[in-house]
Structure 1
Amino acid sequence: MPADVVWMRSSTSTAEDAVEIARLPDGGAALRRAGDPDCEPHVYTAAEWEAFVKGVDAGEFDLPE
């Protein structure tokens, strides 16, 4: 994990169990729990992250009404 990645989380989330995300230089992304920054993050390739974002945009993860 590059040391200079910038970890971000929603400005409305202050909880220690919030999820933080960092964009990686290769276009991928890393996710971690805000309350445990020393834990190894989940890392996704650019293709995996793009597929996830497209799925979110398409509503694939929306809760049923």
Structure 2
Amino acid sequence: MNWRKSSYSNPSGGDCIEVADYMPSAVAVRDSKDPHGPALTFTAAGWRAFVAGIRAGDFPTAP
């Protein structure tokens, strides 16, 4: 599986996630600091909706 770091991740090694588009119908997300830890899996449609919500500002940001 090929993982890529999110373009929104902190470049200095802080809050980073990695995304794997490993199947046409699914997307996996994991914490880049724990590459052998668990990953969340989204349907492709669910991932698109989540990303659209982030871009639209639907989720509060951390302080």
**TM bucket normalised to smaller:** 0.5 to 0.7
Larger radius of gyration: 1
Write the distance in 1 (CA, Å) between the matches of 2:38 and 2:19: 13
| CA-to-aligned-CA distance 1:22-62 (integer Å, 9 cap, x gap) | 11212421111112111121111112101102212322125
Structure that is richer in strand per residue: 2
Find the counterpart in structure 2 of residue 8 from structure 1.
4
Find the counterpart in structure 2 of residue 24 from structure 1.
22
Shift of 1:15: 1.4
Find the counterpart in structure 2 of residue 54 from structure 1.
52
Find the counterpart in structure 2 of residue 35 from structure 1.
33
Specify every segment of 5 or more residues in structure 2 that has no aligned partner in the other structure, as ranges.
none
**Between the two proteins, what is the percent identity of the paired residues?**
36
Structure 1 consecutive aligned stretches of length 4 or more whose deviation exceeds 6 Å: none
- TM-score normalized with structure 2 length: 0.67
Relative to structure 1, the CA distance from residue 17 to residue 60 in structure 2 (aligned partners, 3 Å threshold; closer, same or farther) is: closer
- TM-score normalized with structure 1 length: 0.66
Please provide the CA RMSD for this pair.
2.3
